[in-house]
Chain A
Amino acid sequence: MKKLIHNPFLLIGGCISGVMTALILVGYVWTPYSATAMEGSKFDSPSLVHLLGTDSYGRDIFSRVLSGAGTSFWIALCVVAIGCAAGILIGSLCGYYGGPADLILTRVCDSITAFPSILLALVIVSVVGGGAVNVVIALGILFIPSFARIVRGEFTRCRDLNYIRSARLMGVSDARIMFCHILPNTLPVLLPAITIGFNNAILSEASMSFLGLGIQPPNASLGSMLSDSQIYLKSAPWYAMSVGGTMVLLILGFSLLSEGLQRQARQN
């Protein structure tokens, strides 16, 4: 608790991302109105009946934002899960064993990270086609190098430390050393990387969907909704503002959280 007060980033970031996550989780099971029902009148401005107003079909924007954010959240989670799992596997093997395979993989990872992930995702999607699944796979693969790099760095740092040497002398298997002894020690570095990765995933998915290459209608994510709302910017500015605002809050929460985690790690 004392630590939290001394680390406002962690505190505020945790609050914002906690509230956003809770809202999104609630949105999976319950929304004030159905996200697809065209019940209200068109372009109602925000009121107590419709918290964020209604859109061009009379759908409740608050409910739509909740479900759209849910889609974005879910996609980002999948992307980070793929990137992180594969990144840990590649990074730990490279970092622990080294050798020529490590050199080559590190080079490949460096080259991939030199290019903005959106550009590479665009190339992949233009070859295999758009849609949620393809975007998740494309972004997931593109997120591997950043995780692999971090994990590799930590593993090369740890592999010659005394406690690992002793473990090896005691005859502990390589797999056990890597995943039971070294991996937990990478957490202070890995956790901020995961939160940053989550942010990047939200942003990348939003960009792809904004360009019409991600989530396909009738499904909606924050990105595709923002692109819809732009058409009605004149008649219903609250639509774009609530979708964009949600995106900013989501990203802000997790970026503060990651900053807080980094500071925490530096202090220890």
Chain B
Amino acid sequence: MKYILKKGFTLIITLFIVSLLAFLAFQVIPGDPTTKLLGTEATEEAKAELRAELGFDQPVPVRYWNWLTDFLRGDMGESYSYHMPVREMLGEKLVITFLLTLVSFAFTILLSIPLGILAGSIRIRWLDSLITALDQVVMSIPPFFIGIVACFVFGITLRWFVPGNFISYTEDWGACLGYLILPALSIAIPRIAMTVKMLRGAIHRELEQDYVRTARSRGAGRGDVLRRHVFKNALLPVITFLAVSAAEIMTGTIIIEQVFTIPGVGQLLLASISNRDFPVVQAIVVILAAWIVLVNFAADLLYQLVDPRIRLR
């Protein structure tokens, strides 16, 4: 309990620092946002008025406080380009990106753990080498290239789907999930290969431990030792790695959304970066960063739940 409180406290501090950095990063941008909003021919009075309206005439700490409290209430400011609340622009896109992340993460866990355990328990030398080699190759394929190959094979050659099309969950949940499977797999496949490599390595390391020899000498079978002792210990480092994966997958969606033209947060982020629409960029960055911090927090808690040794520290 004390551990959770301590971790929770660090979590809040981290979130605070992250929000502060995200806020400050967009304060050093050269150029006056009012010129962008009103055009270069606006009068000085109009600019000053708008500056006052947006709160740019106040000192930075006050602006940060206002921005943070607004953000926590769900008011993320207004887009420079579209003159609509950022929150409205994000709504549906955020759900799509989260769905994509979730599906991809599910694939990563469901496929990598069984495959990793399998790869770790194989004792046939050449098969083990073959798996290691294959794993190394799969790890080296960038997700966006997997996506392009998938578009070519399943979209253009087999015509299972039309590349560039997308059906949102607001229209049809099933079809939406269907459209998310290939993008999710594209992100997941290299991550799966990395997790398998890690799990295989962890199992091999555990097998060299003294407790394995002791258990075997007492007459426990190899399979028994693996199942009852080795897997439990070998899975521990994988939990931390999966947390890193959850963060990587979330940012991986930014690129994969471009490949499959999925109308998610990534597309909005890139469009906003090229439009220099900073309120939108800022909101997305804060949400993504908060997600990453939260995932790491969850992994910490999970880790101490599974490994009682940590609680004693």
A interface with B by C-beta (< 8 Å): 8-9, 111, 114-116, 118-119, 122-123, 125-127, 199, 203, 206-207, 210-213, 226-227, 229-230, 233-234, 237, 240-241, 244, 247-248, 251-252, 255-256, 259
Contact = CB atoms under 8 A, between A and B. Distances in A.
B151 A233 contact: yes
B185 interface: no
Contacts of A255: 136, 139-140
A211 B156 contact: no
Contact of A240 (B142, B152, B285): B152
Contact of B247 (A114, A227, A230, A237): A114
B248 A116 contact: yes
B289 A126 contact: no
Interface stretch (B23-31, B86-94, B175-183, B303-311): B23-31
A233 B25 contact: no
Interface string B258-289: 11000000000110111010100100010011
B273 A125 contact: yes
A214 B28 CA distance: 21
A116 B245 CA distance: 10
Nearest to B292: A115
Main secondary structure of the interface of A (DSSP, over half): helix
A127 B28 contact: yes
Contact of A248 (B14, B145, B247): B145
Given A115-B247, A116-B248, A233 B163 contact: yes
Contacts of B28: 127
19 contacts: A8-B129, A114-B292, A116-B250, A118-B254, A122-B269, A123-B281, A126-B272, A127-B29, A211-B254, A212-B274, A213-B270, A226-B145, A237-B156, A240-B148, A248-B142, A248-B145, A251-B140, A252-B137, A252-B140
Contact of B156 (A199, A226, A233): A233
Given A212-B274, A233-B156, 6 more contacts: A116-B292, A118-B255, A119-B251, A126-B278, A248-B142, A252-B136
A211 B274 CA distance: 11
Nearest to B151: A233
B273 A226 contact: no
Nearest to B143: A207
Interface centre among B17, B28, B141, B142 (most CB of A within 10 A): B142
A255 B285 CA distance: 30
Main secondary structure of the interface of B (DSSP, over half): helix
Given A123-B285, A237-B152, A211 B258 contact: yes
A241 B288 CA distance: 32
Interface in B43-95: none
Nearest to A125: B273
B25 A123 contact: yes
A207 B142 contact: yes
B296 interface: yes
B105 interface: no
A164 B33 CA distance: 56
Contacts of B254: 118-119, 122, 211
Interface in B132-163: 136-137, 139-142, 144-145, 148-149, 151-152, 156, 163
A256 B141 CA distance: 13
B140 A210 contact: no
Contacts of A252: 136-137, 140
A247 B144 CA distance: 11
Contact of A122 (B129, B145, B273): B273
A45 to B, nearest CB: 15
Contacts of A241: 149
A127 B26 contact: yes
A111 B142 CA distance: 25
Given A116-B247, A233-B148, A233-B152, A207 B270 contact: no
Given A114-B247, A123-B285, A126-B273, A206 B142 contact: yes
A226 B285 contact: no
A230 B255 contact: no
Nearest to B289: A115
Contacts of B140: 199, 248, 251-252, 255
Given A240-B152, A252-B136, A127 B248 contact: no
B144 A226 contact: yes
A126 B163 CA distance: 28
B144 A210 contact: yes
Interface centre among A116, A213, A241 (most CB of B within 10 A): A116
A49 to B, nearest CB: 24
A237 B150 CA distance: 12
A230 B258 CA distance: 10
A119 B148 contact: no
Contact of B136 (A206, A234, A259): A259
Contacts of A118: 251, 254-255
Contacts of B136: 9, 252, 255-256, 259
Interface centre among A116, A126, A229 (most CB of B within 10 A): A126
